[in-house]
Structure 1
Amino acid sequence: MLKRGEEMQRDLWTSLLLVWITCVPYSSMAPLNNQSQSLQMASAMIPRNRPSEGQRILSRAKRGWVWNQMFVLEEFSGPDPILVGRLHTDLDVGTKNIKYVLAGEGAGTIFAISERTGDIHAMKRLDREEKAEYTLTAQVIDRDTNQPLEPPSEFIIKVQDINDNPPQFIEGPYKGSVPEMSQVGTSVTRVTATDADDPVYGNSARLVYSILEGQPYFSIDQTTAIIRVALAGMDREMREEYLVVIQAKDMGGHMGGLSGTTTVTVTLTDINDNPPKFSKGSYEFTIAEDLGIGKPGGRVKANDRDIGENAKSTYSIIGGDERDVFEIVTDAQTQEGILRLKKPLDFESKKSYNLTVVATNIRADSITGGPYMDQATVKIIVEDADEPPVFTKFTYLFDVHENAATNTVIGAVAARDQDAPHSQVRYFIDRHTDLERQFNINVDDGKITLAKPLDRETDMWHNITVTAAEVRNHSQISRAIVAIKVLDINDNAPEFATEYEAFLCENGKPGQVIQTISAVDKDNPSQGHTFHYRLEMLNNPNFTIKNNLDNSISVLAKHDSFRRQKQETYLLPIVVTDNGEPPMSSTNTLTIRVCGCSRDGFVQSCNVEAFVLPIGLSMGALIAILACVILLLGRSFQHLGKRMKNQTFELRHKNEENIIRYDDEGGGEEDTEAFDIATLQNPDGINGYLPRKDIKPDLQFMPRQGQHCCLKGGGGAFFNLLRET
């Protein structure tokens, strides 16, 4: 602000100097800086025109000024160049041959200097808005030698502003908005004009705003250009848009100033100041009683002069719907209230309704204090429709025993035509739900009977669909589900839960449990299953059973003299009886195999063995025995090979036609099973020997204690052991 004030003060002094130069003759002055040789400048802005005849010639004394600025008015033109100012030096006393030289911006093109007098003229018309000042350099030189007589001096020529540019609204035309019913003084919008003239010199750029069109509705602040509401109670529903013409004038609005205009379109925005209004006070609709749930039965409309959210309404039923049959919702597109059914209509029970419907604005307004509402009466007339028969139940549940005879009545369904004529009804079974045709129905009374015997163990439930159709209109039908439960009778005997196979150790103890047996029954008695077990041979010498009190039994051995060589397998028939009426029983056979077991009771072999190795033979002894056997067999094959080779050699030399064939074959599987390798793996078993599978021994070989082969006597000892045995 301080800098701007200094500039304004300087421009003011400049203006006073120009006035002084224009009105007072020139005169020379000494330099202000007290230099004896300095360039002095005098500024003038009067054109050097020749006086016409009859004009009084005025003599004006020249006056020099020591200053670093000159001034020239913009847009000033005449027949002759415009005198801007004069340069003068103290060396110019009229006797020396000196020359003034000008350099810098516009020198020689825009500005010219007289070499002898130092007068500077503007050769062209200047525009301050194009360029406001020019910086030039002046110097005095000797005309004869062209040597400078003084150092160059720099000065500025300023283009002084005149009011030659009108105000302009660069951003126009403008748009503004204000809520309807706004109070006086409410701000609408603001406009801005610019002026290219110098804002710090005179009033050329001092703007004043005014309204040319738009009164008395709006006003404008002449300085800030803010447009405000000038008339209260402007209603959007009466007039929504206004065109306001704004003028900006320079020179502070005084006469002679230039001006510019712009337009402002002001729109009144809506507020919720109008209530919804039904187009009619009462409505009447006829709705068929068979109209589906959620289907529209009629439409009402409340109009609102407002727009947007302020015009939206919600509808509700406030009376006449004690049964809660109807609802009303708003159509978002049309803003209509749609009457819909929440429950089915029944012409026979209620033939009409009188509803009170209310339309209420959704949003309240802070200015008017809404929301608003309106109400109307809606009369609903229920129209009778031909409806299908109605079953007394949606689902029927019947039961029947699985041994029931054909044509037994299982149950009955019933349906009734609710319409006034009360048409007779016929009943049918949907055969898609009874593909095997196990049931029949009486078309007149709806009784369901059994067509085929039922088996609960095959299907415990049967679900069929029964159709009821009106006699006078076969298209009016309804359906009901009938669930039939098949009740159980005791028609299945119990049996073993699985196919049991038991194993009995030869070294078992009397009373040892051989197998635990349980039973199952396809029947399902209400009191649960209770099974009774007994042996078919009551006094079985080998086995007995024990009741475990949990519907299972344990099979026990009676003695310890079971031997595989005597009997390998025992078949034990067991009779199982249920507790039904009448009781059902079945005989199931348990297979018991006699096996050789280890001392700990683990089954090792269940085959009859050909021979028995000594008891207590260690693994090392068995390996030694096997090595002896292999050694003997190897020597035998070696001797046999040499003998065959010699015989072949002799035959080749005697007669090549003689061919000797050796037809010795191995024992095959018999040889591999003659000695079971499992014996070597279980040397500590009581009966740890395995028989050949293809034969049964006639004699039972008993093991001999304390005999070991191949430990001291080699292969001979082994064969001696076999011979002695």
Structure 2
Amino acid sequence: MDVYLVQNSRKVLKDGLLKRSKRRWSPLPFNIIENDVPPFPKEVDLVASDSSAAYKVYYTLSGPGVTEDPVGVFSVVKETGMLKVHRAVDREVTPQFIFQARVFDRYTNQETDLPLPITVNVEDVNDNAPTFTGQLQFTVLEQSNTGTVVGKVNAIDKDEPDTDHTKIRYSLLSGTNLFYINPETGVISTKTDTLDREVNDKHLVTVDIRDMNGALNGLSNTATATIVVGDINDNPPTFKKTSYNVSVMENQEKGLILRIPIEDKDLINTPNWNSEFIITKGNENGNFRMERDPKTNEGLIYLTKPLDYEKTKNLKLDVMARNQAELSGTNAKWVSIPVDVTVGDVDEGPEFTAPIVRFTVQENTPNDTLIGTYTAVDPETKSSAGIKYYKVSDPASWINVDESTGQLKIANTIDRESHFVVGGVYNVTMKAVDASRKTGTGTVIIQVEDMNDHVPDILSKDLVLCEKDGGEMGSVLVVAEDKDQAPFSAPFSFKLGEKHDDKWAVKPLNSTAVMLAQTKELPTGLYTVPLMVGDLQGFGSTQTVTVRICRCRNGACLAQQNSTSLGVWGILAMLLGLALLLLLFLVCSLWTNNNIHSPLPTSSFTLSATMSILYRIMFTWSTFSLQKLAYLGTEEEGRYADDIIHTYGFEGVGSPAGSVGCCSDQVNQEDLNFLNTLGPKFKVLAEVCTNK
């Protein structure tokens, strides 16, 4: 291979110095064959610079394949520029090398030309067989049309792209009677429409891939592709028998009575196999239901309502089996089989003519009145002979039952307003007993009709009317109720009784209430007012209400206390207690002062003067208090309730002496003997007064 060196400038001698001019190296790329065989090294081609004509030069190489990984693949003969390769190269690992050549003057070691990039291409040989990629398992539904795509086989080849070395051709080595593969694309398709999952649910086909476009000298690989045949619902469920029989006793409790096994060729535990069962005939009364056993796929018939032998001795059911999925790819239909149900006879207890019977009775109907008859019959004989009747439940004991005939009579007064009557209905439970002691029960519903046996009654007859200022007239609400129902109750009529005193008037409010209003200004006090209250039928009575007119706070009369209720001696005792308390403080003070500073005569004089002053103060106070009490006594009851003595909280909690007030625990306020038994209270006061 030749190397062309293009010179575009020359060296010139100037000022006695050697100058280097630019050059351009333009060699063609070098080629080597991958996986070349020994011996090595082998010559590749010359790398030469046209500066070698003017200078004595040498060559160097650097870069990948020389001084960088992979190191030592190439070298250059220093003096001649011959490029050599030292070992085999794999194109699939390194398809190309690019490294750099440089040329130097042997004497000055100066470069005589610009550096030259060297490209070495590795030529491909067909040393890699094609390989399969991706999955080799496909699915196609049974009975698919001819030409239905099953899947695509994928393969790759590591050799040079876009050459025969990587041009792959596909072929089938087996399964060619059912499937076809496109030789260029690898797509597998069906060759027939007869695939049947129930005959063969899986096919194994051998696929061959070969490069060199399938030539005999091409490299190849084979693999097995698995083609699964998918299920369609082309097989309906079938019964193992042509009919079934089952026996059920009458009055048998609900539960499983029959299992019906089936067969289905479709794929197990899929909608194509899962069964569903329908009773298409004979279950008009809803005595049965069907379910599927999820483990066995069997049909299960359940009894949901007891059967009656006397009414039905035999039932013929038609049971159809189908799948959850609709049929496909077949002309078959869902199939049904007959199921014969035989009902067994049981000796049963008597049955009442109806489970529930209703009679209408007016309240207060006289005792021993016949209200009706409730009888039972033997289900087998349809006769009432020998049956006895009893009460099971009669909460208010209002009914008597004739044991032999089942006649119902009034035993006690029926009251519609009784709490035993709910919504106007009273219930009695009865029992019928036959000769074999078997029983049956029934319910008697008594609809109680209302009578006008109650008059309207005023709910609250003690009323409060708060006194208003400025002579304004007040009124109070009067409400009545009647235990009877319409038309024997509201709307009510209200009017004043015959003996009223014209101080009050009735003002309608609604159907059950009026306002009782003053007609003139009235002082505080109690007033009785007769009121005649009647129902819609005019049935009623005169009732008396009491109206208290008073001064109010928050809608209630003020406390009815009289300021003089404490009594004169009570007030005096309180004042005396206060005076004695002050006296004790003064005595303590004087006693302490006397012991420290003053002689006894001075102390005695001071004590005497103090007592005199206290005496004057205390009965001045008592005179004033008596005048105050006399004034309060002339006022109306409760008028000055805020101006009297009040009891306040106990302040001695936690103290061994309790409250230090000397009178705080005295009940009899006129007894002054407590002065001799002050005990710990005085001790507390003394400690306060003592100068420590």
Task: Specify the SS of the correspondent of 1:121.
Answer: strand
Residues 659 and 112 from structure 1, CA distance in 2 versus in 1: closer, same or farther, beyond 3 angstroms?
A: closer
Among 334, 338, 345, the residue aligned to 1:373: 334
Q: Does 1:285 align with 2:246?
A: yes
1:546-588 superposed Cα distances (whole Å, 9 cap, x missing partner) = 9x9x99999999xx9x999xxx9998889999999xx998665
Task: Specify the SS of the correspondent of 1:164.
Answer: coil
Task: Specify the SS of the correspondent of 1:666.
Answer: helix
Residues 142 and 522 from structure 1, CA distance in 2 versus in 1: closer, same or farther, beyond 3 angstroms?
A: closer
Match of 1:214 in 2: 175
Instruction: Tell me which amino acid in the other structure corresponds to 1:249.
Output: R
8 Å CA contact retained: 1:532, 1:578: no
User: Which stretch of the first structure deviates more once superposed, 406-415 or 583-592?
Assistant: 583-592
Match of 2:266 in 1: 306
Task: Specify the SS of the correspondent of 2:200.
Answer: coil
Instruction: Tell me which amino acid in the other structure corresponds to 1:131.
Output: T
Residues 421 and 446 from structure 1, CA distance in 2 versus in 1: closer, same or farther, beyond 3 angstroms?
A: closer
8 Å CA contact retained: 1:288, 1:383: yes
Instruction: Tell me which amino acid in the other structure corresponds to 2:197.
Output: R
Task: Specify the SS of the correspondent of 2:117.
Answer: strand
Cα displacement (A) at 1:206? 1.8
Residues 421 and 394 from structure 1, CA distance in 2 versus in 1: closer, same or farther, beyond 3 angstroms?
A: closer
Q: Does 1:78 align with 2:38?
A: yes
Match of 1:693 in 2: none
* Match runs of 1:439-588 below 5 Å: 439-458=399-418, 461=421, 463-471=426-434, 474=437, 476-483=439-446, 485=448, 488=451, 499=461
Cα displacement (A) at 1:177? 0.5
Match of 2:316 in 1: 354
Match of 1:605 in 2: none
* Match runs of 1:16-165 below 5 Å: 31=4, 67-88=27-48, 98-107=57-66, 109-165=72-128
1:162-190 superposed Cα distances (whole Å, 9 cap, x missing partner) = 11122222434x22111111223211111
Question: TM-score if structure 2 supplies the norm length?
Answer: 0.63
Task: Specify the SS of the correspondent of 1:671.
Answer: helix
8 Å CA contact retained: 1:427, 1:466: no
Instruction: Tell me which amino acid in the other structure corresponds to 2:317.
Output: L
* Match runs of 1:404-443 below 5 Å: 407-419=368-380, 424-431=386-393, 433-434=394-395, 437-443=397-403
Residues 354 and 584 from structure 1, CA distance in 2 versus in 1: closer, same or farther, beyond 3 angstroms?
A: closer
Q: Alignment RMSD, CA only?
A: 5.4
Cα separation, 1, equivalents of 2:228 and 2:336: 32
* Match runs of 1:112-261 below 5 Å: 112-172=75-135, 174-201=136-163, 203-261=164-222
Q: Does 1:672 align with 2:614?
A: no
User: Which stretch of the first structure deviates more once superposed, 380-389 or 221-230?
Assistant: 380-389
8 Å CA contact retained: 1:417, 1:470: no
Cα separation, 2, equivalents of 1:352 and 1:364: 34
Residues 114 and 672 from structure 1, CA distance in 2 versus in 1: closer, same or farther, beyond 3 angstroms?
A: same
Larger Rg computed on CA atoms: 1
Question: TM-score if structure 1 supplies the norm length?
Answer: 0.61
Task: Specify the SS of the correspondent of 2:213.
Answer: helix
Instruction: Tell me which amino acid in the other structure corresponds to 2:117.
Output: E
Task: Specify the SS of the correspondent of 2:165.
Answer: coil
Cα separation, 2, equivalents of 1:181 and 1:400: 78
Instruction: Tell me which amino acid in the other structure corresponds to 1:114.
Output: V
Cα displacement (A) at 1:210? 1.9
Task: Specify the SS of the correspondent of 1:125.
Answer: coil
Instruction: Tell me which amino acid in the other structure corresponds to 1:227.
Output: I
1:43-96 superposed Cα distances (whole Å, 9 cap, x missing partner) = xxxxxxxxxxxxxxxxxxxxxx99422221111122342222234556768x98
Cα separation, 2, equivalents of 1:318 and 1:211: 53
Task: Specify the SS of the correspondent of 1:204.
Answer: helix
1:96-129 superposed Cα distances (whole Å, 9 cap, x missing partner) = 8543433333237111222344332211121111
Task: Specify the SS of the correspondent of 1:354.
Answer: strand
Residue correspondences, number: 546
Instruction: Tell me which amino acid in the other structure corresponds to 1:276.
Output: P
Match of 1:384 in 2: 345
Cα displacement (A) at 1:240? 0.9
Cα separation, 1, equivalents of 2:487 and 2:56: 151
Instruction: Tell me which amino acid in the other structure corresponds to 2:334.
Output: M
Cα displacement (A) at 1:312? 3.9
Match of 2:566 in 1: none
Instruction: Tell me which amino acid in the other structure corresponds to 1:246.
Output: V
Cα separation, 2, equivalents of 1:150 and 1:519: 130
Cα displacement (A) at 1:289? 2.6
Cα separation, 1, equivalents of 2:181 and 2:249: 65
8 Å CA contact retained: 1:113, 1:121: yes
1:518-550 superposed Cα distances (whole Å, 9 cap, x missing partner) = 99876779777999999889xx9999999x9x9
8 Å CA contact retained: 1:389, 1:417: yes
Instruction: Tell me which amino acid in the other structure corresponds to 2:63.
Output: G
Cα separation, 1, equivalents of 2:33 and 2:280: 85
Instruction: Tell me which amino acid in the other structure corresponds to 2:214.
Output: G
Structure 2 residues not aligned, in runs of 5+: 12-24, 466-474, 551-604, 640-692
Q: Does 1:395 align with 2:356?
A: yes
Instruction: Tell me which amino acid in the other structure corresponds to 2:218.
Output: G
Instruction: Tell me which amino acid in the other structure corresponds to 1:309.
Output: P
Moved over 6 A (4+): 34-38, 492-498, 500-503, 514-537, 540-546, 550-557, 568-580, 583-587, 590-595, 655-661, 675-679
* Match runs of 1:644-655 below 5 Å: none
8 Å CA contact retained: 2:452, 2:488: no
Cα displacement (A) at 1:673? 5.3
Task: Specify the SS of the correspondent of 1:311.
Answer: coil
Instruction: Tell me which amino acid in the other structure corresponds to 1:298.
Output: L
Cα separation, 2, equivalents of 1:192 and 1:441: 95
Instruction: Tell me which amino acid in the other structure corresponds to 2:41.
Output: P
1:179-222 superposed Cα distances (whole Å, 9 cap, x missing partner) = 11122321111121111111245x22221222234332322212
8 Å CA contact retained: 1:392, 1:415: yes
Residues 393 and 70 from structure 1, CA distance in 2 versus in 1: closer, same or farther, beyond 3 angstroms?
A: same
Cα displacement (A) at 1:365? 5.5
Task: Specify the SS of the correspondent of 2:216.
Answer: coil
Cα displacement (A) at 1:305? 1.5
Cα separation, 1, equivalents of 2:527 and 2:113: 153
